[in-house]
Structure 1
C-alpha cells in the first residue's frame, strides 16, 4: 500500500511540473525569423481536370530497348529471390505462337507474364485474349533484362534459370 501511495505522489509531482509554463530567462529582442534557414516550398501545382482512363494505367508504347524477339538458349542460374515463374513476351508473331504453345504449362506453373514490347491497346487486348486466364501486365523489363543478360523474348524465367 505504501508503494502505491509513493507511486501516486511521484506521478502527481511529474504532472504538476508538466503543467507549469516556461520561464523566459533572457530575451535580447534581436531574434531573427527561421524561415530563411528552411528549404523553400514549391507552390502546389494545379490538379489536372481530366481523370485517367480506367483501362489505361500505363503509357503506350511499352518498350524494352535491350530486348528483341529471337531464340533464347536455356541457362541454368539460381534466382533464389524469384517467388513465382515469370514469362516475358511481346506482341510479335513469335511471342504469340510461343504463348499459345506453352499456355497450359504457364497456367500449371502459375506464371506471371510481362508484355515487354507493345504499341497499341488493341495489341494488348489480342495478347490478353491468347493468355486467357494468365496474369499478364504491360511493363518494360529493362531493369532486370540487362543484369541477367537477357537479349531476346519470349522467355520463361524461374528459380532455376530461363528457357524458351
Structure 2
C-alpha cells in the first residue's frame, strides 16, 4: 500500500512536467524544467558535500524545500533536522536513490514527503552542486 501511495505522489508530480516560477522583481514568469523523470532510479550530478549558507531569491518557491541523497550521511542530516523541516512543512527531493523501499523507509522515519527526482535543474538554478540543503525564507543552508 505504501509503495502505491508513493507512486501516486510521484506520478502526480511527474504529470506537472514544469513548475511555474514567479520572479520577485518583475511580472515575468519563468519555469523550472522537470522534464527529467520523477521516479526511481533518480540520479543526479549533485553529491553529498558542504554548502555555505547564502541568500537567494526564494520568492520563486512557494514552499520550503530540502534536497537529500539516499546515502548514510544524508540520512543522518535528515534525522538531525527532522523537527525543523516538519515545522517548516518542507517538501523533500531525494536524489541518487535506486528504489522505492529506501524512500518509504525514510518517509516513515522522518514523516516528511520525499519525491525521487533528478535535482540537476534545481541545483543549477540556485548555483549549488552539493546536498543536503534547505531552501527557505530567502536562504540556502545546511
Partners in 2 of 1:81 and 1:139 — Cα distance? Answer: 19
Q: What TM-score do you get using the length of structure 1 for normalisation?
A: 0.61
Report the number of matched residues: 110
Are 2:47 and 2:131, in contact at CA under 8 Å, matched by a contact in 1?
yes
Partner of 1:141: 119
Compared with structure 1, are the counterparts of its residues 102 and 146 closer, same or farther at alpha carbon in structure 2 (3 Å cutoff)? Answer: same
Structure 2 residue 75 is matched with structure 1 residue 96? yes
Extract unaligned runs of 5+ from structure 1: 1-52
- Cα RMSD over matched residues? 1.8
Q: Does 1:163 align with 2:141?
A: yes
Q: CA deviation at 1:130?
A: 1.9
Do the aligned residues in 1 keep the contact of 2:42 with 2:118 (CA within 8 Å)? yes
What are structure 2's unaligned runs of at least 5 residues?
12-37
Q: Which has the larger radius of gyration?
A: 1
Aligned to 1:60: 40
SS at match of 2:95: strand
**Structure 1 ranges of 4+ moved more than 2 A:** 53-60
Q: Which residue of structure 1 lines up, in the alignment, with residue 23 of structure 2?
A: none
Looking at structure 1, the residues matched to 47 and 117 of structure 2 have their Cα atoms a distance apart, in angstroms, of 15
